[in-house]
A = this chain, B = another copy of it.
């Protein structure tokens, strides 16, 4: 059985330990929600102050050129490429994940239609993050071309859903609730073997687990920069397109930033060469520029070390909860197997909502997802093994004392 001493030992051997100093974290808090909103990089406030005070205030309109604002989506996309196994001119950082799903889906459907117009099914998983499903539903309703959404229920085989009617598969690499991870190479291969294209949502994967989009045969990918990439609340998302499709597709959110010559002010849209055709309108520069700070930290970390520590933290967290909270009705919702696990761990508890509120009140911040799910994000860049020990001790105390059983913890906030 592990001890706090053993945790401190593990922390002393941790090659990533120094990264914690790159973030500003509130004292006395154990933050297990970096899978929802990553922590604040130390340089981010200064970067935003520079963008606002100097670039906007002094440079004014000139900063579109002189401060490189117009290049930010492509430049940061090229940086991000290294974290997801992509090449140059394959990624742009722009818009929201939802909007990028719409672009990728529109392009994938158009490609599929050219190759096999009879394929009218879009496959996803019922427990995929809702916005992925909502964007598909919006697209289907808009097009009125006979498309349908086929949802695979949790635990059932994706294989059975893949038949000759399937045009496109849209999956999250790491499930937002359970942390279950797909084998990207195997699933992509299977989709292709059945004649379908595949879009990967990397929201809970980018910066957390090794991703090899090009090598694993993905067709399209989207993802988020405000979780494991610590870009700041709502920082712009990203979209990647495989080079074999990149200049071949078409995406309908065809705003002026995606035009081949945006300042020609021509009256007809001509898509830019390369990934820039996935841009649409003017981007929120303060949020976008600030996000570079978190990205730079992630690029300095060895993703293999990040992955090893994430799994070690997860193993420890699971073992501690299962041993020290064994008397309580907690059920692990996350796969134990390393190859099938992302970087967060979830447990079901019948009073999950109240338990999480009690934890938060005691300075252990995870989050709750309907129904019954306690979710704990394990971010190797700013969490230690001792943090895991301490968090589980507080969880044990909350459960042993029934501290969660109070009206103020049971009452749902408007937004959670």
Chain A residues in contact with chain B, CB under 8 A? 24-26, 29, 31, 33, 36-37, 39-40, 44-45, 48-49, 51-53, 55-58, 60-65, 69-70, 95-99, 102, 106, 126-127, 129-131, 133-135, 137-139, 141-145, 151, 177, 224, 226, 232-237, 250-259, 262-269, 280-288, 290, 360, 365, 367, 369-370, 413-416
Number of copies: 2
* Bound complex: CA A139 to CA B139 (Å): 12
With a CB–CB cut-off of 8 A, which chain B residues contact A269? 130, 133-134, 137-138
* Bound complex: CA A282 to CA B137 (Å): 18
A189 to chain B, nearest CB (A): 27
* Bound complex: CA A40 to CA B49 (Å): 12
Report yes or no: B70 in contact with A134, Cβ–Cβ below 8 A. no
Q: Can you report 16 residue pairs joining A to B where beta carbons are below 8 Å apart?
A: A33-B61, A39-B57, A40-B52, A49-B49, A63-B233, A65-B416, A69-B233, A95-B96, A97-B281, A98-B257, A129-B256, A130-B267, A226-B282, A263-B370, A284-B288, A287-B288
Report yes or no: A138 in contact with B254, Cβ–Cβ below 8 A. yes
| Most B C-beta atoms less than 10 A away, residue of A62, A236, A280 | A280
* Bound complex: CA A101 to CA B293 (Å): 32
Knowing A253-B138, A369-B265, the reply to whether A99 touches B98 (Cβ < 8 A) is no
* Bound complex: CA A377 to CA B280 (Å): 25
With a CB–CB cut-off of 8 A, which chain B residues contact A360? 62
Report yes or no: A416 in contact with B96, Cβ–Cβ below 8 A. no
Give me 15 other A-B pairs in contact (C-beta within 8 A), A102-B253, A137-B269 excluded: A29-B60, A33-B60, A36-B61, A39-B57, A56-B232, A95-B96, A95-B99, A130-B266, A130-B269, A133-B267, A133-B268, A135-B254, A138-B251, A138-B253, A143-B143
Report yes or no: A290 in contact with B282, Cβ–Cβ below 8 A. no
| Most B C-beta atoms less than 10 A away, residue of A31, A133, A264 | A133
* Bound complex: CA A264 to CA B370 (Å): 6
A287 to chain B, nearest CB (A): 3
With a CB–CB cut-off of 8 A, which chain B residues contact A60? 26, 29, 31, 33, 37, 39, 365
